Amino acid sequence: DVKVTQSSRYLVKRTGEKVFLECVQDMDHENMFWYRQDPGLGLRLIYFSYDVKMKEKGDIPEGYSVSREKKERFSLILESASTNQTSMYLCAIPAGTGYPLSNQPQHFGDGTRLSIL
């Protein structure tokens, strides 16, 4: 079974804090994704990584950075948290076998509900 583990289900932080959200996968996949989900706006891609130390911006990268030092771990960093970053954050990987990778369904973690006060 594919496992995508997000370190926290719920997190409460203060404005201005540096916040780290962690995602770990057990499938040895090159590709990992970070999304945020907001009511009325749906899921939007923040960043994705296609290999260790490689990253690309998604649709809404402003205010975020990412780190991929090891293949199994992809971290999302809020450099200086603001109240408009209160959201549900979801990590995903392609989760099948074979190629092309783009034809594999994405498998999601359970999400981290982040509140910035």
Partner 1 sequence: KQEVTQIPAALSVPEGENLVLNCSFTDSAIYNLQWFRQDPGKGLTSLLLIQSSQREQTSGRLNASLDKSSGRSTLYIAASQPGDSATYLCAVCGAGSYQLTFGKGTKLSVIP
By CB under 8 A, name the binding residues for partner 1. 4, 31, 33, 40-45, 48, 50, 58, 90, 92, 94-95, 100-111, 113
Query: Measured from the CB atom, is 42 or 97 closer to partner 1?
Result: 42
Query: Measured from the CB atom, is 14 or 100 closer to partner 1?
Result: 100
Query: Measured from the CB atom, is 33 or 81 closer to partner 1?
Result: 33
We find the least distance from the C-beta atom of residue 88 to partner 1, in angstroms, to be 8
39 upstream amide cis, omega within 30 of 0: no
Contact 9, 26 (CB under 8 A): no
We find the least distance from the C-beta atom of residue 85 to partner 1, in angstroms, to be 19
Distance between CA 6 and CA 111 in Å, rounded? 6
We find the least distance from the C-beta atom of residue 42 to partner 1, in angstroms, to be 4
Query: In the numeric block, which tokens belong to residue 95?
Result: 């989760």
Distance between CA 61 and CA 6 in Å, rounded? 19
Distance between CA 94 and CA 2 in Å, rounded? 10
We find the least distance from the C-beta atom of residue 95 to partner 1, in angstroms, to be 7
3 DSSP 8-state letter: -
